[in-house]
């Protein structure tokens, strides 16, 4: 193993840099939190900005956000050398540490925003289900209502008002959640690949992009599985928002790139070499060409040409998948790419991913399946499409 590590080196690296510090698990962390923030922002469009067309996805977006938010700290936890000490981040936080403060933003977002908003939105359903169900289900729903079973019109009006207020608080919270993840990387001055003030904004917009793509795909998938017809004006609207967000995201990333090329500071030659060699496939091909330009072109094409419902569905599905792949590649290129070159700018290493180890590919795959399992459970427990069913 020792030989293998050293053989991966090209040029000169500081000896302690030979071992990569952050693995694929740390790639999952910005990817999953990004999906959360993006899905929530899509949901808030309906609630705050009254975009009625996306209403069918409102509840699904919230549940998806919750499923991914519950999973997002797990890869971090698995990565720690001493996971049993992680509670110290809450008990004795170091206030100048971006990582420590993220813990509080996470907790705020989970408990004060997402869980509360879902609870308020589902309270009526839960009370009704607690009344109609029997056995353990009845007990479960009663616990979930926290004993608040007043569903008079006046009470529901307060729920709605509160929910709206929480969404308004939630939007800056969601922006903060993912902008902050960008800051964790963007504030590391020792690493020129990360250190840029644009990083939080780029992370934010790529988060919105990935979240919208996720909800678009999940909505079409759930409709397909449940045999519910897809609301085409809804997916058309979501796809349009996806394109707009993607254009902003791509412009910001290109701005960063052009700025780096033009300024060409001391790190430029080293980073440029890395992008043309070790990061070429994941950065140029997967992220930029297949993960950004092609899906944007597909979405733009639909705006220009009138296509059948079936064709649009197909294109949305493909564009959504490519988008998620592209954003995942972006996270990969930030996290892994930032560790492939030496801070001496004189050498490069490679990332050799293990499979069935604590930080290998297998746990990464399991951690990416887990949110979908949780979402499946949440959809069973809190059906997001009751209104449609009633309408049909």
Partner 1 sequence: MNSDRRDFVLTAGKLLLLTAPAAAYLEAVESGKAEEPAYKTFEHYWGMIVDIEKCIGCGNCVRACKVENDVPLEPYFFRTWVERYHVEGAGEHPDVDSPDGGYNGFPEKYAAGDGAKSFFVPKLCNQCAHSPCTQVCPVGATFESPDGAVLVDKTYCLGCRYCVQACPYGCRFIDPRTNTVDKCNLCYHRITKGLTTACCESCPTGARQLVDLKDARDPVHEFLRTHKVHVLKPQMATGSKVFYNALDGSVR
Name the residues that contact partner 1, by CB under 8 A: 2, 5-6, 12-19, 21-22, 76, 79-83, 85-86, 88-89, 92-94, 96-100, 103, 188-191, 338-339, 342-346
Structure tokens at 183: 């800051």
Cα separation, 182 vs 129, in Å, equals: 41
String of b and e for 359-370 (b: at least 16 CB within 10 Å)? beeebbeebbeb
Q: Determine the longest span between alpha carbons in the chain, in angstroms.
A: 72
Minimum CB–partner distance for residue 100 and partner 1 (Å): 4
In the chain, at which residue ranges do the beta strands (DSSP E only) sit? 10-11, 347-348
Minimum CB–partner distance for residue 9 and partner 1 (Å): 10
Contact 121, 59 (CB under 8 A): yes
Minimum CB–partner distance for residue 378 and partner 1 (Å): 30
Minimum CB–partner distance for residue 347 and partner 1 (Å): 8
Judged by CB, which is closer to partner 1: 92, or 308?
92
Judged by CB, which is closer to partner 1: 16, or 134?
16
Judged by CB, which is closer to partner 1: 80, or 255?
80
**Residue 229 DSSP class:** P
Judged by CB, which is closer to partner 1: 22, or 376?
22
Minimum CB–partner distance for residue 86 and partner 1 (Å): 6
Minimum CB–partner distance for residue 190 and partner 1 (Å): 4
| CB-facing half-sphere around the CA of 182: CA atoms within 13 A | 21
Judged by CB, which is closer to partner 1: 18, or 230?
18
3-state helix, strand, coil in the chain (%, to 5): 75, 0, 20
Using CB atoms within 10 Å of the CB of residue 339, give its burial: 0 to 12 exposed, 13 to 18 middle, 19+ buried.
buried
- 3-class secondary structure, 308: coil
Please state, as a whole number, how many other Cβ atoms lie within 10 Å of the Cβ of residue 29: 23
Judged by CB, which is closer to partner 1: 96, or 308?
96
Minimum CB–partner distance for residue 5 and partner 1 (Å): 7
Judged by CB, which is closer to partner 1: 91, or 391?
91
């Amino acid at each position: 193993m020792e030989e293998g590590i050293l053989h991966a080196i090209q040029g000169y690296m500081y000896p302690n840099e030979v071992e990569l510090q952050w693995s694929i698990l740390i790639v999952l962390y910005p990817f999953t939190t990004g999906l959360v923030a993006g899905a929530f922002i899509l949901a808030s469009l309906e609630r705050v900005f009254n975009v009625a067309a996306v209403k069918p996805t409102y509840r699904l977006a919230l549940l998806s956000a919750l499923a991914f938010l519950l999973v997002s700290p797990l890869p971090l936890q698995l990565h720690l050398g001493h996971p049993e000490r992680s509670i110290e981040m809450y008990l004795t936080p170091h206030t100048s540490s971006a990582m420590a403060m993220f813990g509080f933003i996470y907790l705020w977002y989970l408990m004060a925003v997402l869980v509360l908003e879902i609870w308020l939105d589902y309270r009526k359903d839960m009370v009704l289900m607690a009344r109609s169900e029997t056995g353990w289900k009845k007990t479960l729903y009663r616990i979930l209502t926290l004993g608040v079973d007043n569903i008079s019109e006046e009470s529901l009006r307060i729920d709605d008002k509160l929910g709206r207020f929480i969404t308004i608080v939630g939007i800056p919270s969601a922006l903060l959640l993912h902008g902050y993840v960008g800051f964790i990387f963007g504030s590391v001055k020792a690493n020129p690949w990360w250190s840029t003030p644009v990083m939080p904004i780029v992370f934010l917009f790529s988060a919105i992009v990935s979240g919208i793509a996720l909800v678009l795909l999940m909505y079409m998938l759930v409709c397909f599985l449940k045999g519910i017809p897809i609301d085409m004006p809804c997916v058309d609207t979501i796809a349009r928002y996806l394109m707009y967000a993607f254009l902003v995201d791509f412009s910001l990333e290109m701005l960063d790139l052009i700025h780096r090329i033009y300024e060409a500071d001391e790190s430029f030659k080293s980073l440029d070499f890395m992008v043309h060699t070790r990061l070429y496939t994941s950065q140029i091909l997967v992220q930029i060409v297949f993960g950004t330009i092609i899906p944007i072109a597909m979405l733009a094409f639909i705006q220009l040409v009138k296509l059948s419902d079936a064709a649009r569905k197909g294109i949305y599905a493909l564009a959504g998948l490519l988008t998620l792949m592209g954003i995942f590649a972006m996270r990969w290129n930030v996290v892994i790419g930032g560790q492939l070159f030496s801070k001496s700018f004189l050498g490069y290493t490679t990332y050799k991913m293990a499979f069935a180890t604590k930080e290998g590919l297998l746990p990464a795959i399991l951690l990416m399946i887990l949110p979908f399992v949780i979402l499946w459970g949440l959809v069973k427990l809190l059906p997001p499409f009751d209104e449609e069913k009633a309408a049909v």
